């Protein structure tokens, strides 16, 4: 069987109109992607600002918590001192009522 003449890998010649249509489609696609990218970037910036605000709020709340914890410790110490004072007063009144002298009571409190 004889071989056909000419190249088997002929390039087809596209018309200018088809190329322009393809370019217009690609340009439209590019513009849509750029618009989508701009919208995403705007949303990212908005979220960054929101995050920044939330971080500020979080720091303020953490400071408030620390302040309240310190107040709690101070209040507990005061309550403890008041309770100890009341206990000492009970013991002293009990000892006084039992007939102990002031010197004996001071010696007992030192222990």
For 9-67, the pLDDT digits (tens) are 666 666 888 888 999 999 999 999 999 999 999 999 999 999 999 999 999 999 999 99
31 is a domain residue: yes
Q: Looking at the domain assignment, is residue 25 inside a domain?
A: yes
Q: What is the domain count for the chain?
A: 1
pTM greater than 0.75 (yes/no): no
Residue 81 domain-assigned?
A: yes
Predicted pLDDT at 16? 80
Please give the pLDDT value at position 33: 97
Residue 8 covered by a domain: no
- Structural domain including 89 reads 16-110
Q: Is 4 within the bounds of a domain?
A: no
Residue 20 lies in a domain: yes
The answer to whether position 83 is within a domain reads yes
**10 in a structural domain:** no
pLDDT of residue 101: 78
- Residue-wise DSSP of the chain: -PPPSS-SSPPPPPPHHHHHHHHHHHHHHHHHHHHHHHHHHHHHHHHHHHHHHHHHHHHHHHHHHHHHHHHHHHHHHHHHHHHHHHHHHHHHHHHHHTT--HHHHHHHHH-
């Amino acid at each position: 069987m004889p071989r056909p003449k000419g190249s088997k890998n002929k390039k087809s010649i596209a018309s200018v109109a088809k190329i322009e249509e393809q370019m217009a489609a690609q340009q439209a696609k590019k513009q849509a992607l750029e618009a989508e990218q701009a919208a995403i970037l705007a949303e990212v910036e908005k979220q960054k600002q929101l995050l920044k605000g939330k971080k500020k709020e979080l720091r303020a709340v953490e400071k408030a918590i620390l302040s309240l914890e310190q107040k709690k410790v101070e209040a507990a110490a005061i309550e403890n001192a008041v309770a100890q004072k009341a206990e000492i007063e009970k013991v002293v009144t009990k000892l006084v009522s039992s007939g102990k002298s002031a010197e004996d009571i001071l010696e007992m409190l030192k222990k």
